Amino acid sequence: MTTETLHDLRGDQPRFQGLEAGHRACQGCGQALAARLTLEAAGPDVVLANATGCLEVFTTAWPDSAWRVPWLHSLFANAASVAAGMEAALKMQGRDVKVIALAGDGGTFDIGFQALSGMLERGHNVLFVCYDNEGYMNTGVQRSSSTPHAAATTTSPAGVARIGKRHLKKDILSIVAAHHIPYAATASVAYPTDLRKKVRRAIQVDGPSFLQVHAPCPLGWGHGGELSIEVARLAVQTGLFPLIELERDVLIGAMPIRRVRGIKDYLRPQGRFRHLFADDPRAREELAHLQALADHNIEVYGLRGDRPDTLDSEGADTVHRGGRHFA
């Protein structure tokens, strides 16, 4: 196929491609996929405020931009504040354009946390999307408050004194939902249809809405780039990353898990959990701990499906000839 036809074909894709090729994300990047899927559903009439992080760095290597929508980066901490300002300005101009703030888990759980809280409290009409890759991957895989318990990072190494991160993954969704906002949900790149449905829902909401998207990082998690979807899917199917929706801090939806997998299926492909498979009593304890956390999620959110459902963990990604499923 000639360069011209390829160029024409790229310009004629039957979807909105808000994030273009040529960005510098690693092979198999979950975040790059999550960002494109988000914009596909959010459509062209959006403006973006991006916190510092992988997404900001790999999409905008000077003087290029991979974005096809207005995009602004200011600081690590202030994506929510910038988005709030953009929303206020657009409102003053009488323009009906949705503002989306994008941040990684560092820009959401830690560094951007107070700005996020303030934006939610002031009730801005902003969708805040957190691409949760569970660590500071851009700067060399440091732990964040989103890094799961027992995962190894460069600042929570598995060694003699400790066996990966000592603390638990912060329950950011509950904290965000406690702001009594109209819509807060989790999604995963392994379930694109579910993810896009939640983006559309969050865009329709008048007022602040929040999405936490589980986005594997092959570099930081230590798995092959080809396994990003597989790993994300297993996070859902083990119960470690429940896909839930909250309205005004009330649980209104959860993706049922048809076949609950043991957590080892999820942990084993990932280098950051390799130490948990050593012949070590502490490793066995941590495995039991992680299993208990998964079981707890399943119980608290009522995730165990009682019968096959087209929207459960096995049915939601079913494909059909002709691609109607992803239409």
Partner 1 sequence: MPIMTPGAFAYPGTSLDFRTGSWRTARPVYQVRPSPCHAACPAGENPRDYLARMAEANPRAAWETLVAFNPLPAITGRVCEHPCESACNRGQFDAAIAIHNVERWLGDEAVRAAWDYPLPAPAAEAPEVAVVGAGPAGLSCAYHLLRLGIRATVIDRLPEAGGTLRTALPCYRLPREVLDAEIGRLLAAGIPFVGRTRLGQHVSLAELSQDYAAVFLAPGRQQPRRWDVDGRTPKDLHPALTLLQDWVALDAVPAIHSALIVGGGNSAIDMARVLARTGAEVHLVTHDAMPGPGVSRDVAMKAAPRDIDQAIEEGVTIHVEHGIRRLILRGEKVVGVELVRLKKLLRGDGRYEVVPFEGTETVLHVDQVIPAVGQVVDADGMGSLLSENGFFAAGEDMRLPGRDAIYAGGDARERAWGTVSGAVGDGRKAALALHAHLSGRRYETGPAPRPMAIADLNLNYFERAPRAEETLLPPGLRQGCAEIAAGLSPEKVGAEAQRCFSCGDCLACDNCWTLCPDQAVLKSRAPLAEGARYHIDYDYCKGCGLCAHECPAGYIVMEAESRPAGRQQGP
Binding residues for partner 1 (CB under 8 A): 1, 6, 9-10, 12-14, 17, 19-30, 32-33, 36-37, 59-69, 189, 192, 218, 224-230, 233, 308, 310, 314-315, 317-323, 325-327
| Complex with partner 1: residue 23 or 169, whichever CB lies closer | 23
Q: In angstroms, give the least distance from the CB of 80 to partner 1.
A: 22
Q: In angstroms, give the least distance from the CB of 227 to partner 1.
A: 7
Three-class SS of residue 125? coil
Q: In angstroms, give the least distance from the CB of 223 to partner 1.
A: 11
| Complex with partner 1: residue 243 or 283, whichever CB lies closer | 243
| Complex with partner 1: residue 143 or 233, whichever CB lies closer | 233
Identity of residue 315: G
Tell me the C-alpha distance between 53 and 56, whole Å: 5
Please, are residues 157 and 150 in contact by the beta-carbon 8 Å criterion? no
Distance of CA 146 to the CA centre of its chain: 11
Q: In angstroms, give the least distance from the CB of 60 to partner 1.
A: 7
| Complex with partner 1: residue 110 or 230, whichever CB lies closer | 230
Element housing 254 (H / E): strand 250-254
| Complex with partner 1: residue 284 or 325, whichever CB lies closer | 325
User: What SS3 string covers 77-123?
Assistant: CCHHHHHHHHHHHHHHCCCCCEEEEEEECHHHHHCCHHHHHHHHHHC
Q: In angstroms, give the least distance from the CB of 121 to partner 1.
A: 31
Question: 170 to each of 46, 195, 217, 296, 302, how far by Cα in Å?
Answer: 29, 21, 18, 15, 20
